[in-house]
Amino acid sequence: MTNTSKNSLIHKANTRGQANHGWLHTHHTFSFAGYHNPERVRFGVLRVLNDDTVAAGMGFGTHPHDNVEIITIPLSGALQHKDSMGNSSIIKAGEVQVMSAGSGITHSEFNPSTTEDVKLLQIWLFPNKKGVEPRYGQAAFNIGERKNKWQQIISPHADDAGLWIHQNAWFNLTSLENGKELNYSLHDKNNGLYVFVIEGVITINSTKLEPRDGMGLWDIEQITIKAEKKAEVLVMEVPMRQS
């Protein structure tokens, strides 16, 4: 169930859609594939937030995308990527991948390990431009540099820290020690925030969030996150209206 106030909503981890295909165990924060919840179609331009576990030696066969910004964040293990743009790479924990599908691409994703599952977040945003030339980006981040502070991984600007996408959106990760607080101020007051707890326990304005819980907030300028238990947190600042 979704708990809401006048400018926030909460998606508890155990209320997400899920599917177990044997080789793939996935949880959907928003409607996806066989999971449809009319109250959970998107948060602003944030359309998909999938929490996937792919078994060793398995993966997604070649499939198409268009006019979507795709962000992949491995949490453990590694994922092999191949696409119609000619890219072939392996992304692992500590790295982030973006794809602007634009006018159309095909790609495949495969777990190359024979023994280890890969756990990842795959996130889709609606773009602010349609039909753009498809593009690919991948970057490694120093996990130590997000200890008790924000580490920007996504922005709208090619010359800014991290990777960039075709959307007025910023993604930041932090590793918060127990008892530590961190403020986040919006880049654009018209945007909203979707906070996803990867691990640990946090509070936002006295609201408690546990592993894999999500909270959306809008009509705000700043939030304060406090770690009640050592936490890994992803904050996604996104437009609330699709352009």
Domains of the chain, first to last: 2-239 (2.60.120.10)
Query: Under a CB-based contact definition with an 8 Å cutoff, are residues 175 and 214 in contact?
Result: no
CA–CA dist 239, 17 (Å, integer): 24
Question: CA angle, 33 as apex, 60 and 195 as ends, to 5°?
Answer: 90
Neighbours of 172 (CB within 10 A): 21
* CA atoms of 149 and 10, how far apart (whole Å): 24
Q: How far is CA 2 from CA 10, 39, 224, 227, in A?
A: 6, 8, 22, 23
The Cα-based distances of 79 to 9, 93, 148 in angstroms read 32, 9, 28
Predicted confidence pLDDT, tens digits, the chain (243 residues): 467 678 999 999 999 999 999 999 999 999 999 999 999 999 999 999 999 999 999 999 999 999 999 999 999 999 999 999 999 999 999 999 999 999 999 999 999 999 999 999 999 999 999 999 999 999 999 999 999 999 999 999 999 989 999 999 999 999 999 999 999 999 999 999 999 999 999 999 889 999 999 999 999 999 999 999 999 999 999 999 987
Q: 99's torsion region: left (phi>0), alpha (psi -120 to 50) or beta?
A: beta
